[in-house]
Structure 1
Amino acid sequence: MKKVLPLVLFLFTLLQLTAQQFNGPLRVHPENGRYFTDNSGKAIYLTGSHTWANFQESRTPDEALFDYQGYLKMMKDHNHNFIRQWTWEHAKNASWTTDEVVFGPLAYKTVKKKGKVKYDITKWNEAYFERLYSRTKEAGDKGIYVSVMLFEGWSQNRLETPGSDPWEYHPFNPKNNINGVGKSVQNNGFDDEEMGTLHSTNNGDLLKLQEAYVKKVIETVNDLDNVLFEIINEGGTKKWQYYMVNLVKELEKSMPKQHPVGMTHSSVVSPPMFNDDLWESPADWISPATEPISWMYKGTDYLQDYKLDPPANTGEKVVILDTDHLGGHWGTYMWAWKSFVRGHNPIFMDSWVPLAGNYDREKNATIFYIGGVTKNDADHPDYEPLRKNMGHILALADRIDLVHMTPQDQLSSTRFCLANPGEEYVVYLPEGKATLDLRDADVEFVVEWFFPVLERTIKGTETLKGGSYKAIVSPFTGASVLYLKKR
């Protein structure tokens, strides 16, 4: 026993020293703005699954607590390296179901007043911030980056399910706190800059409280390298989101580390938000939505279809392309490969633990299928191929010289090509056939095929000679990925 104990202590110390093996916090790569980098200078590609209870509990009272360790294991088993960490602002009710759904812990202390439990907005619930730090660090110890979501747009009434208003249980609702705050806030189902709603700069006494909360969150996780920030999920006016992005950046200026700040799309705000507002924002990374709205209202001559045909990323921002904003309960492996070769970082809103509560199946017919299979199930047939292929894409991204790779639609008849012309090409062939334009690449290439459905790689036995157009036929009759590297 005396000989074993020192060995155990040594191994424990070694594990402590090897945890958080990141080479500094992320920042936008100076040579290729589609990706992040760290002190290593390499392009860092992000992809992974996120689910609604991966930070706070989000469940009906009779459901089990979220298995965070099992979730991290699933992430590592699938070679994922990014978590979008969900935050809920309210204690009870979900606008998508009439079932009782509870959320916790929340950020503020509770007190009893006249027999009722209320919030003291001037005092923090330290258990909330301890969980925030420990879960973010645990993910980091496994090599996973975490986007810390600061606010949640669905924490007010979205008017989907009458009688299930989250605002009724929000700490900022004046009937729920002892501080008398929140009286000026209008609860009308969406964020409106003119009316003065929860996530607008015209929200009266709440803005200072939101600023204090942001500061507390940043102070809690600032020493961790694996942190990114997201202002809010599907809410917040443009003016308020811009304000919060700048606030995070200003607060971190005087702190040891600075982390990327992200802005995501919201369609339930007034004035309306468009993808252009994301590109023009002070955010380091953005998460756009498919936009028939932009086409209808702004007169653009094309449809920004990030779901079926993601437009190529220009490199002006890092794009973390999220199925959450494209189709809700949705995602396919084809979309992940298309997004990758178009210069995006795709992530998946995963029903690994289904969204709490039951849907009205008649109202939500789009997520109900014959046989009782719904897209709110972890084992929906589309999901495991997507999870696995996101991991395969990350493995490929780590092998190639991603810094010098850019979308080159014109080089392939499929229009899905990521390339450093003359050096490396990754081509997605939805039907296994393509014509490549290699006229300016008069060199020999080593050939490698990957078949997403089979998860199988085949290395070519012969090289491919460039210098002209090349008709390519995959050895597999389904969707294929061709990787060419100059010999």
Structure 2
Amino acid sequence: MKKNIPLVLIFFAVLQITAQQFDGPLRVHPENGRYFTDNSGRAIYLTGSHTWANFQESRTPSDSLFDYQGYLKMLKTNNHNFIRQWTWEHARKASWTTDDVVFSPLPYKMVKHKGKERYDLSQWNEKYFERLRTRVKAAADVGIYVSVMLFQGWSQNRLETPGSDPWVYHPLNPVNNINGVGKSVKNNGFDDETMGTLHSMNNGDVLEQQEAYVKKVIETVNDLDNVLYEILNEGGTKKWQYHMVNLVKEIEKSMPKQHPVGMTHASVVSPPMFNDDLWESPADWISPATEPIAWMYKGTDYLQDYKSDPPANSGKKVVLLDTDHLGGHWGNYSWAWKSFVRGHNPIFMDSWVPLAGNYDRAKSPSIFYVGGVTKNDADHPDYEPLRKNMGYILALADRIDLAKMTPQDQLCSTRFCLADPGQEYVIYLPEGKGTLDLRNADVEFNVEWFFPIINRTIKGKETLKGGSYKALIAPFTGAAVLYLKKK
């Protein structure tokens, strides 16, 4: 092998050879609950870009069909190994635009009824489930784990744009199906346990239909190793989400394989949901939000700032820390490294294909222009460095003994340190300098510097001797990652 091949590229080459191998479905690592494992027993780190149309088409009539193979190629090129597979429950209209956005296919068969097209909830649209299985298998072929999203909060709880109410076009709205299902759902614009909304336990016969759908999805993909489940994106009362998590586990209990089940922050729900509700849930993995949520508690300081200073993961749950729940159209490479060394699995809500339709930019401050490029564009300047660095982090995570690594904020002045003290350390230095406490590690360490913005690795010519505090100064101006391994 030529000596001038970058170290990171060597790691990528190794990963590409083994990427298509899955050794059973994921489960929480028994020794380090921050990560998953499989039959191999190794800690498996998850990271990747997900985008809104990667399962169903989400487009205006003038938009092209989603290029799924091109999307998978982007993931593999950037060394990603995880996606959320987005699900939309309603047929048309979107809360972010007045344009006519169409979502297809949907899981129910359309029939003629009294001269009009209506959904027959007793019949599945098998093309929907064929697409589901085909896309999950295609992701598996390139080494990608897929979180199958079961429900969509925006099918009920997001009504910012007049005339865009998604409930009007929802199959479970009684005016849209021939089965009379949905009369107990109150169109109040957000999930509320007392009012009986779409994603609550007080929704009448809708719950039975939702449970039947969950069972059908599980039957479609249960035999595949690269599957995880997510109950719903941004919505759903706590009781309803807990019920659905337990339902998935109960259904899979008697099936050949069991897969991790995830619960994400509701954002809009009554009574309010908090991150503590996620930690106390029966879910295997969670996606918390920065708290207090800015729009709910204006003028307050953040207690849990998962954007700029992610709290260290205690290991009680696997955390897939998602930019979608932290800032919508947002993300940068520094956040990914901070999240990694704090014991999280960072994932990116990627505008690889922009959300369909035109925005009212005054109502969508997260879509602001930067030099003629908006955050709803794939080529926003923050995004490519983030995509690449998520892959760099995965390459590093696969080299270290991740199962033994835990956040060790107290050991470094920057507080961004993941370590198995005395054995291995990964330190993120936002300004390229800091101090490391090695007083209890009186051994020699091999030194390796990595510079995220230029993708360059420099190995130290000499070892670092522990036993005291050590000043860290990177041989590069800007953010740096230091990797120490016991000689």
Query: 3-state DSSP class of the match of 1:355?
Result: coil
Which letter maps to 1:433?
K
Q: CA deviation at 1:371?
A: 3.9
Residue in 2 that maps onto 1:326: 326
Q: Secondary structure at the match of 2:369?
A: coil
Measure, in 1, the Cα distance between the counterparts of 2:231 and 2:364: 28
The unaligned stretches of length 5 or more in structure 2 are 1-17
Aligned runs of 1:15-414 on 2, under 5 Å?
A: 21-293=21-293, 303-414=303-414
How far apart, in 2, do the equivalents of 1:112 and 1:287 lie?
Answer: 41
- Conserved in 1, the CA contact under 8 Å of 2:328 and 2:366? no
What's the offset of the Cα at 1:362? Answer: 2.5
**Contact 1:20 / 1:225 at 8 angstroms: preserved in 2?**
no
Deviations 1:338-366 (A, max 9, x none): 00000000000000000011101222244
RMSD: 1.6
User: Shift in Å at residue 301 of structure 1?
Assistant: 10
Q: What do the CA deviations read for 1:407-428 (whole angstroms, capped 9, x no partner)?
A: 0000000000000000000000
* 2:398 partner SS: helix
CA distance in 2, matches of 1:393, 1:53: 26
Deviation sequence 1:156-213 (CA, Å, 0-9, x none): 2512001111111100011100011101100111100000000001000100000000
TM superposition score normalised by structure 2: 0.94
- Distance in 1 of aligned mates of 2:370 and 2:277: 40
Q: CA–CA distance in 2 between the matches of 1:321 and 1:198?
A: 26
Secondary structure of 1:292's partner? coil
Mean CA deviation greater in 20-29 or 343-352: 20-29
| Cα distance in 2 between the residues matched to 1:19 and 1:462 | 34
Distance 1:370 1:440, change over 3 A: closer
- Please name the residue that 1:449 is paired with: 449
| Fraction of identical pairs, as percent | 84
Q: How far 1:21 sits from its partner (Å)?
A: 2.3
Partner of 1:11: none
Q: State the alpha-carbon separation in 2 of the partners of residues 434 and 217 from structure 1.
A: 49
Shift of 1:370: 4.9
| Residues 157 and 167, structure 1, Cα contact 8 Å, conserved in 2 | no
Provide the rounded CA distance (Å) in 2 between the counterparts of 1:267 and 1:348.
18
Output one character per residue of 1:277-313: Cα deviation in whole Å (capped at 9) or x when no partner: 000000000000000259x98xx99700001100000
AA of the residue aligned to 1:429: L
C-alpha contact 1:20 1:137 (8 A) present in aligned 2:
no
Does the 8 A contact of 2:227 with 2:259 survive in 1? yes
Is 2:91–2:169's contact at 8 Å kept on the other side of the alignment? yes
The number of aligned residues is 468
Task: Specify the code of the residue in structure 2 equivalent to 1:51.
Answer: T
Task: Classify the secondary structure of the residue corresponding to 1:352.
Answer: coil
**TM-score with structure 1 setting the length:** 0.94
Work out the CA distance in 1 between the residues paired with 2:20 and 2:116: 43
Cα distance change of structure 1 residues 302 and 91 upon mapping to structure 2, 3 Å threshold: closer
> Secondary structure of 1:330's partner?
coil
Distance 1:157 1:45 in 2: 32
Aligned residue for 2:486?
486
Structure 1 residues 33 and 301: alpha-carbon distance in aligned structure 2, compared to 1, 3 A threshold: farther
The one-character-per-residue Cα deviations of 1:207-252 (angstroms, maximum 9, x if unpaired) are 0000000000000000000000000000100000000000000000
Asked whether the equivalents of residues 48 and 83 of structure 2 are also in contact (C-alpha less than 8 Å), the reply is yes
Question: How many Å separate the matches in 1 of 2:392 and 2:189?
Answer: 40
1:95–1:157: 8 Å Cα contact kept in structure 2? no
Instruction: Please give the alpha-carbon distance, in whole angstroms, between the structure 1 residues aligned to 2:370 and 2:44.
Output: 41
Q: Following the alignment from structure 1 to structure 2, what is the Cα–Cα distance between the partners of residues 405 and 165?
A: 47
In structure 1, distance between residues paired with 2:258 and 2:370: 49
Partner of 1:459: 459
Q: Equivalents in 1 of 2:35, 2:367: separation in Å? A: 33
Aligned partners of 2:157 and 2:235 also within 8 Å: no
Amino acid across the alignment from 2:108: Y
Q: Provide the rounded CA distance (Å) in 2 between the counterparts of 1:357 and 1:477.
A: 41
